[in-house]
Structure 1
Amino acid sequence: MLRLLILADDFTGALDSGVQLAQCGAHTHVTTNLDVSFDAWKDDARESVVVVDTESRHIDPRRAFEIVRDIAGRAVKSGVPVIYKKTDSALRGNIGAELEGALAGSGATRLLFVPAYPKLKRLTLGGIQYIDGVPVSESVFGRDPFDPVRESSVAKIIGLQSTLPVVSVAEGAPILAAERREILVFDASSDEACVAIARQLGEIRETTVLAGCAGFAGHLPQLLGLRRPLPPVTLEAQGLLVVSGSLNPITTAQLEYARSSGFDAYRLTSSQMQEGIPAGPEGDRILDDIATLYGRNKRLLLYGAPPEEGVGSVALEEKSRAVAGHLGELVRRLYRRGLRGVFAVTGGDILSGVLAHMECSRMRPLCEIESGVVLSRAILPEGDVMIVSKSGGMGSREVFVNVADFIERHRAS
């Protein structure tokens, strides 16, 4: 039985929300297929969740609205009882357009939006989104080279792309009966506040269309009554290859910490990042060098110079897409040359590039190593691959060391 549809605007977001259900026993499928059919789950006895990565964070807002509206509408017609529009915890992307699209497709009167992620110190207070105690527009996300967040008011961010009324709900306030089509934005300063919101939603039985980041997705099992724990993860693959093309300074600090903690590092040149690894003997030599370095202690950082700054947002975005594609091609070539292990990929665009080149459009999230850092099984034509994913702004400073230690602890005996 299909219990829930999650709509995410990038692959890392799809995985870090879907894993919240997978860890509680739901049979969770993550796909990039925008034409996915929901009828296949009608006669399935398992508690199932489908997560669709719409890849809509950087596209035209009108098109983002249409994609979300159409998928949500098909899901409702197939009897899916709950739709969750997963958003970025820093409110990047087509927030207003996609929230309105989810509401339009669902046919519900209003959408209930909980944007906070208290475990990562991302709070909503008085309708303002805070990152580590700073309004989001003044944080590192206000300086995002592709999608800077210019406002800190959640209502204003929604209003940039939607004309729907937005009502801010103070922490602990009751949820009043709906009188019009609207979006309710809930304050939350702690995980306990999120638990209370989930409890309230369950009591009033209004869960048709919800929205939030992976933080509130962690409370969906409570709403759906999912409690079955899964057995511990065991890994056949050993070693960790980190693939990063992220511009986020949080990821930069994580790479620096891993390197200082004993990881080997292979730094790609700007030309290799933006034009790819050449074919022929020169490319073979580079691939051999990477494989040899990885074989030394099987903890390797593979990263390079980001696209040049100051070239304009459109040109920078084009260069970034090229980097994602070239890194994806590089991982494919390394894998086909026999390099095995767990691949850790930072950033939704880079992850999409890697999976596209490995001909993967479906994944099964397994567990969360730390908040926002997800271990998944990528289902490929030539065999499954274990992938750890995170967005550029997620994870502790020690995240890559923690992931490598996790792999060691969960080695299959």
Structure 2
Amino acid sequence: MPRWLILADDLTGAADCAVAFARRGHAAAVTWAENGGEADEAVLAIDADSRRLIARDAADRHAALLRPRLRPGLALYKKIDSTLRGQPAAELAATLTTLEECRPPALAVVAPAFPDTGRTTEGGRIRLNGAPLEDSPLWAREHSYANADLYAVLEGVGLPTALLPLAALRGGPEAVAAAMRHALSARCRALVCDSATTSDLETIARARGLLEFEPVWVGSGGLAAALASAEQPGQDPPLPRLPAARGGLLLVVGSLAEASRAAADHALAQGGLRHFGIPPALLHAGPVGWNVMAREIAAAIAAREDVLAMIEAEPGADLRQGAPLALALAELLQPAASQAGGLFATGGETARALLSRLGVQSIRLLEEVAPGVPFGLTRGARRLPVVTKAGGFGDTEIIRHVRHRLHAWLQEETAA
């Protein structure tokens, strides 16, 4: 049974939290199986696939996933998006209520900052690369709340909330632990922690060892990495070798975020990739419309070419169509993916849909290619090397780094 349970609203977020523990030698996996998906890993992350749901449905899904897995001694991490996409407040409220069915009232320690990707929290408000999140293209394209004030967001779903400002946090782990105890005794259900650096998150994580209770930890990949670093290293057993690779790499960009489009454009400019731009209209047309392209992509993969397949951006794109487009894209790419030597997918919906189409429901996580960009092997009959990445961050070199790591891994396996 897992020692840590991570609940996330999408696949890439689940993976980039769990991989932090894998990097410290703890066996970690991510699953999106509705039932089962359990294994002997010390850390299990579950993708609730709730990013696009309304608040009530997202909350119900989290409660349903958590309830059968509750047991004494389990540490719980609620992964939320570092830019507040989806329904993190409703999901957290449901998580706390469900947890309290078998435990005393719980305190959520909320620290969504991920400084390595430009996300910080100051005065209880999220900032992106130093500017208010509300001023960013990410917020303009997709947001669930009136603003990025975490205190207001959590109070808005009935969670009494306290704030730990940056100056108090920098008093050290003892001061942070004291603030957590005070918030719990004051009947707060959430403590929002400012964090502007990785060191700030590490201070929060070190406070855990000073507590007499286990909070619910709430954050993105940044806080998960800090908590993992505060634990003793594990001894993850070696995995079986992979079968010989059959085809080229399939690199899929299903996200419309600016960072993902810029990385794809940069990778294409460097050369060495076969590019397939896929118009949304083609995906809406169904197999009759896309069969020719599907065969072309599969043939390129079979010929050991590395392929970059990308949904083409359209002005005024309707983000509500994200899930149907991801499912259609997965169907189009299935013949190619079934022959690929390795897979990279940007966007949680894209990664989940494509892997599910291959009959995969979980990934054993091994390492990070870059902060928030986990590398792992699919579990099951076929062990495929996979890299996933959230759409909203990453520099322009990330696809080059991913290609290099996947090719290096496959060469190591062949030589072993």
For the aligned pair, the TM-score class normalised by the smaller chain equals: 0.7 to 0.9
1:188 and 2:195 equivalent? yes
1:268-347 superposed matches below 5 A: 268-278=278-288, 283=291, 285-294=292-301, 298-306=305-313, 309=316, 316-336=318-338, 339-347=339-347
Q: Deviations over 1:85-126 (max 9, x none)?
A: 011111111111111122112223311111111111211111
- Contact 2:376-2:387 within 8 A present in 1 as well: yes
Q: TM-score, normalised on structure 1?
A: 0.87
Q: Aligned ranges for residues 50-69 of structure 1 at < 5 Å?
A: 50-69=44-63
AA in 2 matched with 1:398: E
Q: 2:82 aligns with which of 85, 89, 107?
A: 89
Q: How does 1:2-41 map to 2 (within 5 A)?
A: 2-36=2-36
Superposition deviation, residue 5 in structure 1: 0.7
Aligned-residue offset at 1:166: 1.5
Q: Whole-Å Cα distance in 2 between the matches of residues 150 and 297 of structure 1? A: 48
SS in 2 for 1:329: helix
1:358 is displaced (CA, Å) by 1.7
Structure 1, 365-374 or 287-296: larger mean CA deviation: 287-296
Shift in Å at residue 294 of structure 1? 4.4
Residue 255 of structure 1 aligns to a residue in which SS? Answer: helix
Equivalent of residue 256 in structure 2, options 239, 243, 247: 247
CA, structure 1 residues 63+286, in 2 after alignment: closer, same or farther (shift >3 Å)?
closer
Aligned to 1:100: 93
Is contact 2:346-2:391 (8 Å) kept? yes
How far is the alpha carbon of 1:182 from its aligned partner? 1.7
Partner deviation per Cα, 1:109-163 (whole Å, 9 max, x = no partner): 3111111111112111111111111111111221224x46641211123344x11
Question: Post-superposition shift, 1:293?
Answer: 4.0
Q: How many residues align?
A: 393
Within 5 A, what are the aligned runs for 1:110-259? 110-145=107-142, 147=143, 150-160=146-156, 162-171=157-166, 172-173=170-171, 174=175, 175-176=178-179, 177=181, 178-179=184-185, 180-228=187-235, 236-237=244-245, 239-259=248-268
User: What percent identity do the matched residue pairs reach?
Assistant: 25
**Offset of residue 34 of structure 1:** 4.1
Contact 1:81/1:208 (8 A) holds in 2: no
SS at match of 1:323: helix
Using the TM superposition, give the Cα deviation of residue 37 of structure 1 relative to its aligned residue in structure 2, in angstroms: 8.5
SS of residue matched to 1:218? helix
One-letter amino acid of the structure 1 residue matched with residue 74 of structure 2: P
- Runs of 5+ consecutive residues of structure 2 not aligned to the other structure: none
CA distance in 1, matches of 2:270, 2:328: 28
AA matched with 1:299:
D
Contact 1:33–1:361 under 8 Å retained in 2: yes
Q: Which amino acid aligns with 1:125?
A: E
Give the distance between the partners of 1:35 and 1:62, measured in 2 at CA: 21
Counterpart check, 1:396 vs 2:395: yes
TM-score computed with the length of structure 2 as normaliser:
0.86
Aligned residue runs from structure 1 range 348-387, under 5 A: 348-380=348-380, 383-387=382-386
Q: Secondary structure at the match of 1:375?
A: strand
3-state SS of 1:67 partner: helix
**Structure-2 change in CA distance of 1:360 and 1:399 (3 Å):** same
| 1:185-234 Cα distance to aligned partner (Å, 9 max, x none) | 11111111111111112212443411110111112224443344777998
* SS of corresponding position for 1:19: helix
Counterparts in 2 of 1:230 and 1:398: CA distance versus 1, 3 Å: farther
Corresponding residue SS for 2:288: coil
Tell me whether 350-359 or 189-198 shows the greater mean CA deviation.
Answer: 350-359
Q: CA deviation at 1:243?
A: 1.1
Contact kept? 2:116, 2:222, Cα under 8 Å: yes
The Cα of 1:389 is off from its aligned counterpart by 0.7
Tell whether the 8 Å contact from 1:111 to 1:184 is kept in structure 2 after alignment.
Answer: yes
Q: Counterpart of 2:6 in 1: which secondary structure?
A: strand
Q: Distance in 2 between matches of 1:373 and 1:133?
A: 22
After TM superposition, the runs of 4+ consecutive aligned structure 1 residues lying more than 6 A away are 229-235
Q: Cα distance 1:334–1:166, how it changes in 2: closer, same or farther (>3 A)? A: same
Distance 1:123 1:170 in 2: 12
1:8 deviates by: 0.5
User: Which runs of no fewer than 5 residues in structure 1 stay unpaired?
Assistant: 311-315
Contact 2:255–2:391 (CA<8 Å) still a contact in 1? yes
